[in-house]
Structure 1
Amino acid sequence: MAETNGMDKVTENGSIRIADEVVAIIAGLAATEVDGVAGMSGGVVGGIAEILGRKNLSKGVKVEVGEKEAAIDIYLIVKFGIRIPDVALKIQENVKQAIDSMTGLNVVEINVHVQGVAFPEPERKADEEELQQRVK
């Protein structure tokens, strides 16, 4: 998607400008609020998807913003064991509602790109106990 300069609106009191980055952050935050999302993905680098924290929410989101409409691509990692189509649909609904309510933009499409699956980490306490048993 081609990156634009954001939404501009002229009112009788002046102009209102919403940058693409703001729309991307709103979309990223709305996506991570959905259960089953492990994190945003920075894209595939060398075949490995990088999970980004909350500080980099806009990095897993690409937006194309016009005067009244927006199209969004979201790249993310899902948690193991969840039903991906259900989570993707909830993401689309949540992102659309958040962008519409906060910016007034009409969201024409939200494309969800699942870049990977996050597996639960093994409990460290059990690993530490096993290590202590081996040392004795």
Structure 2
Amino acid sequence: MSTIAEFEKTDIGTIQIAPEVIEVIAGLATVEVEGVAGMSGGFAGGIAELLGRKNLSKGVKVEVGQREAAVDVSIIIQYGNKIPEIASQIQQNVKRSIEMMTGLHVVEVNVHIHDVYFKPAEKIDDEDSQLRVK
């Protein structure tokens, strides 16, 4: 990860964008895609750590130059989704969001799927179970 890159000089000063800003933009653009369970913080004891949607920049790494950025996102995908389709949507959404908000050209967006999230089984309501046992 780079430090704050000098992005543009104007008549009255310079505009600088911190890599952390791009990480947050990429994280938000990633979790907007349906089928993403959350960001992944990597593997802890062989199990992918689900960061959810609060720590958006934790599952993102960026390299920022003066005019370009490269992004890596690590996610946990919801079970039942087509991984290549979700990954492609993430790539498009991250690229579009960063370029629109910062003016940087995104040269690559790498998507790393660390795990699959299974929704917990729904509990049977007590009323329903009583009706079945009449």
Q: How does 1:23-42 map to 2 (within 5 A)?
A: 23-42=22-41
Q: Structure 2: any 5+ residue segments left out of the alignment?
A: none
Instruction: Give the match's secondary structure for 2:42.
Output: strand
Q: How does 1:101-112 map to 2 (within 5 A)?
A: 101-112=100-111
Per-residue deviation at 1:129?
3.1
Within 2, Cα distance between the matches of 1:38 and 1:61? 15
Q: How does 1:5-24 map to 2 (within 5 A)?
A: 5-8=3-6, 9-24=8-23
TM-score using structure 1 length = 0.89
Q: Which residue of 1 aligns with 2:87?
A: 88
Q: Per residue, is there more helix in 1 or in 2?
A: 1
Q: Structure 1: any 5+ residue segments left out of the alignment?
A: none
Within 2, Cα distance between the matches of 1:16 and 1:103? 10
1:99–1:107: 8 Å Cα contact kept in structure 2? yes
TM-score using structure 2 length = 0.90
2:77–2:117: 8 Å Cα contact kept in structure 1? yes
Letter in 1 for 2:5: M
Q: Which residue of 2 aligns with 1:4?
A: 2
2:37–2:52: 8 Å Cα contact kept in structure 1? no
Per-residue CA deviation, residues 80-134 of structure 1 (Å, 9 max, x unaligned), is 000000000000000000000000000000000000000011113x1x639x87x
